[in-house]
């Protein structure tokens, strides 16, 4: 099963059905994404399930019906163990952005963190997870597939939030503060933090 978010609302791609009273069920082969999003914006709908019996091709089938934008992002940790968070559009977030032409996902992730926070000296650590969310651009719904990486840096300079991207703050946060920030964040960001906390160890390497 895959989890795709529309803001805080989940869409589940599934080959089994466990529908409850406030859930909506649609067939993965025939659903209309605009109608599904409208249903999720209805306060009476808790979750949406998109069903198809072929477990191995759930995501592939979903991507055929919703255009995909690939992005990279990074959870950056400094020598104090603090993590780099940004405040964008009224929510706490982690730096990320879509790939430029010719970039690898790892290169895009590092570039986006640098551009959105002005942090330098990033070292790429382990891959954390992929997350999925639906957004609207130029009147069309799209699926953002974000690859998340742990990163490290010794940077101690001034952080500069990228105002042009709607970022109001960029700051280092210790774990207790992050728990507070996650109360005003997105489900996907919580998934990234959870994936980092499950890492058994870290192996650093640089992107050449």
> Is residue 207 situated within a structural domain?
no
Q: What is the pLDDT of residues 50-94, one digit of tens each?
A: 999 999 999 999 999 999 999 999 999 999 999 999 999 999 999
**Residue 69 is encoded by which pair of tokens?**
């934008």
Q: How far apart are CA 1 and CA 40, in angstroms?
A: 19
Q: How far apart are CA 143 and CA 62, in angstroms?
A: 9
Residue 111 and residue 125 in one domain: yes
**Residue 193's CATH number:** 3.90.79.10
Residue 100 and residue 171 in one domain: yes
Nearest to 84 by CA among 160, 147, 8: 160
Residue 186 and residue 92 in one domain: yes
3-state helix, strand, coil in the chain (%, to 5): 25, 40, 35
> Is residue 80 situated within a structural domain?
yes
Residue 166 and residue 188 in one domain: yes
Q: What is the pLDDT of residues 132-164, one digit of tens each?
A: 999 999 999 999 999 999 999 999 999 999 999
Residue finishing a domain among 65, 90, 112 = 65
> Is residue 125 situated within a structural domain?
yes
Q: What is the pLDDT of residues 23-40, one digit of tens each?
A: 899 999 999 999 999 999
Residue 61 and residue 89 in one domain: no
How is residue 205 annotated by DSSP?
A: B
Domain holding 98, by residue range, is 68-197
């Amino acid at each position: 099963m895959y989890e795709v978010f529309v803001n805080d609302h989940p869409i589940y791609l599934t080959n089994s059905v466990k529908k409850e009273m406030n859930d909506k069920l649609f067939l993965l082969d025939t659903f209309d994404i605009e109608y599904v999003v409208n249903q999720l914006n209805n306060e009476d709908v808790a979750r949406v399930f998109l069903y198809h019996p072929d477990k191995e091709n759930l995501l592939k089938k979903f991507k055929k019906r919703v255009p995909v934008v690939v992005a990279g992002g990074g959870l950056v940790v400094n020598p104090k163990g603090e993590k780099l968070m940004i405040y964008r559009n009224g929510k706490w977030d982690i730096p990320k952005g879509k790939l430029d032409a010719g970039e690898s996902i790892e290169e895009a992730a590092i570039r986006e963190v640098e551009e959105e926070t002005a942090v330098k000296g990033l070292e790429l650590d382990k891959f954390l997870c992929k997350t999925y969310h639906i957004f609207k651009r130029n009147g069309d719904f799209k699926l953002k597939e974000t690859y998340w990486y742990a990163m490290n840096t010794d940077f101690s300079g001034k952080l500069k939030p990228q105002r042009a991207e709607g970022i109001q703050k960029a700051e280092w946060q210790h774990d207790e503060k992050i728990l507070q920030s996650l109360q005003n964040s997105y489900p996907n960001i919580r998934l990234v933090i959870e994936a980092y906390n499950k890492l058994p160890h870290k192996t650093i390497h640089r992107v050449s």
